[in-house]
Chains A and B, each alone.
Chain A
């Protein structure tokens, strides 16, 4: 092959790769544009802060936002400490033995378990066996189990970024392992863990299948205050979108509300993602200075 043909071939090949990348970005843009352009018509302060009215054909989505907030809070309170502690073991204590390999295989496989299976598991464990009832608690814990593999992985990544010399310095001064982790590892891993936590939260907030059978309600406009809120059913943004899109008796009429719900949900998730990226960025800059 002569050089000109090869040059031409390279240009064509790279062109195809660029086209594929542009296409994927275009898909993203089309989805976001469709949701936001058609959702923005209904978006208003009132839509966000008022309850659904008239058989959910009018009014806002405030209870769904509050419900999503509470259920996500339960998710975080359960999954973040558990994930962090597991990550501390894996990154700071674990030797390369069979037990650790089994734990790692379990974590990777948990992250591949379909969300609907988590829903069934949560239903069986929390509703049928433990009988805590359809509730924020049951939904949040189910989502917590789902996010566990992500929080473990994110925490471990954060711990890995702490330089080995920090640990060696403390150990050389006679600190015990736990003292070392507490004073010289965890403080530096916090931003990374925060990033991972927010990303996990964003994913949990958008999940629908796990809360289908564990507490999400069609219409539940009044949520009591803490701690009573933990034991009631709840509305949630993703489930509300699902209902408005497929189950409502006047589907065409409520389409704007469905679009508005989708826009708020995506907006929330984008904000959380942006926050996570920002924290990661700040953190990296700080480390460069050190």
Chain B
């Protein structure tokens, strides 16, 4: 009888401790989960903030004007106009220009580092190139302004050299590290058996690289290009400093251009809070967000598919 009570008191205490411990464990897990969910909350908050702040302008200006008009002049005393076509075209122009330069260079570097370079060279070259990723965009923009601009002006005999070419070159520098590192990952993760099979059949290392390794890594490489594109579209400081910022439809790469990001950076400080002009900047940011979101999502889907395939192989 006595023994019994002692025992039940004992199990009672142990049980309480166990229950408390279980509760504590659950609470800790919930706490970490909340921090993970924070990322989702921020993403949704950014999206809804851009939309709600842009909505007053979207409501006032007909949808057709945003996309069909190239005239961006929200402060005109005669008639304000909110056409962002020129800004979108400018953004895409310098981004595509950047990719034309950065994609061949980036893939060639990635192929060299991943497949050709001896290990010792790789150990040195890789961190050196990573430094490029660390250079702030404002410094790259400064370089474009004071070095590349005058150089381009001399070569093409046009104005001050702050134009689409300058922007494209700078954005290529900004996008290169992304394209390189993601492509390199893709090339490295091609199974060795594939390459061995090719080499065993008598192909040279070059033929193996071009006809086996790179085609096998192609989806990863495409994803890297998309990510680089996303970076180029979203870059602000470089294009703000080195593109000339004329808010008109560009006719060639030698025209000064003004991107969506630069427009927001230039004009937000000058607008009256609550005006249609103020809200229209959020509309630009909203479409900018949609563009980068789409590009990133596509590259993400490609990379996930690659990972699953490589993991399964």
A164 contacts B by Cβ under 8 Å:
no
Query: How many interface residues does chain B have, given as a range?
Result: 35 or more
B residues less than 8 Å from A93 (CB atoms): 29, 32-33
B257 contacts A by Cβ under 8 Å:
no
B residues less than 8 Å from A238 (CB atoms): 136, 138-139, 237
Contact in complex: B39, A110 (CB < 8 Å): yes
Contact in complex: A270, B131 (CB < 8 Å): yes
How far, in whole Å, are A117 and B50 apart by their CA atoms in the complex? Answer: 9
Q: Given A82, A109, A114, which contacts B261 in the complex, CB threshold below 8 Å?
A: A114
Majority-rule SS of B interface residues: helix
How far, in whole Å, are A82 and B33 apart by their CA atoms in the complex? Answer: 11
B residues less than 8 Å from A18 (CB atoms): 112, 116
Known contacts A117-B285, A125-B49, A241-B138; is A178 also within 8 Å of B145 by CB? no
B residues less than 8 Å from A206 (CB atoms): 134-139
**Closest beta carbon of chain A to B130's beta carbon, Å:** 8
Within 8 A of B (CB), among A123-158: 123-125, 128, 145, 148-149, 152
Q: Given A108, A202, A258, which contacts B296 in the complex, CB threshold below 8 Å?
A: A108
A90 contacts B by Cβ under 8 Å:
yes
Q: Closest 6 CB pairs between A and B?
A: A206-B136, A114-B234, A20-B108, A85-B35, A112-B296, A89-B32
9 more contacts with CB within 8 A, not counting A6-B206, A117-B288, are A9-B207, A16-B108, A27-B173, A28-B131, A108-B296, A120-B268, A209-B265, A241-B138, A242-B237
Q: Could you show 16 A-B contacts with beta carbons less than 8 Å apart? A: A13-B206, A17-B108, A23-B105, A25-B128, A31-B140, A85-B35, A86-B36, A113-B289, A113-B293, A114-B236, A148-B38, A178-B25, A212-B268, A238-B139, A245-B146, A265-B138
- By a beta-carbon cutoff of 8 Å, the part of chain B in contact with chain A is 21, 24-25, 28-29, 31-33, 35-40, 42-43, 45-46, 49-50, 53, 104-105, 108-109, 111-113, 116-117, 125, 127-132, 134-143, 145-147, 173, 176, 180, 204-207, 209-210, 227, 230-231, 233-237, 240-241, 261, 264-265, 268-269, 273, 281-282, 285, 288-289, 292-293, 295-297, 300
